[in-house]
Structure 1
């Protein structure tokens, strides 16, 4: 892994990396985030008793939409033709929802930012839909779990 940052030009100003010469490969990234809340809030989500609607259904759509639009909100991200996005939710205890996004493409650059954006948007959507009953919710940590494909090789949290 190079210590040289590629998002800066010779004048030390930000630039979008030129991926023209990179090979097209299958690429996947998996990211995870969590949101912790009062047990009563999580119970209402599980029971479908949140006035704004089905919290996890809306969060899932928000995560998918965010992954597709990552290049619109992260300045140096390339627009990518995503070939798959999946978001899964797990209730890890009576206060925590864990969300995991898997994003895939066949292209010249990876989808780490898309996966991270997806779980971030999903967590923010849960917060938005439940903030009237629980402003003290905490989002995070958010992290990349897996990245495959590309010149830099594979990454798996805990192994690299």
Structure 2
């Protein structure tokens, strides 16, 4: 069988190929293709910053991008928000493949943090996505007292 992605610069490790096959099997084509484009864009940005796929952790970037929307699949549709369900599904898949827990944690966190960086309103203060975003960016959070002292915005 011909590899439809042979001309694209994806990692070809056993885990990357297994994840590619798995994700293609559970996601709608539009979401799967979006995930592949996300990796290519992330790789491009990394190369612009001097990262090199043959020396830096290209496989981890690939796995995080590939699995970042798994929560939108039928298999990933559980009881949490799709980003958390997807992060849990990605972590389960990678753990089942024998990936070390510290590397699984990076993929799990990247799934939520990347979405929160793109859409900060999806990571409000005092929520788990908000806390991960705060840790990533170092942005200080207001205290409850400070929040209560503010004039209401009425955009809640």
Q: Sort the TM-score into its range (normalised by shorter chain).
A: 0.3 to 0.5
Q: How does the TM-score come out when normalised to structure 2?
A: 0.32
Greater share of strand residues, 1 or 2? 1
Q: How does the TM-score come out when normalised to structure 1?
A: 0.32
Greater share of helix residues, 1 or 2? 2
- Select the structure with the greater relative contact order (CA < 8 A; seq sep ≥ 6): 1
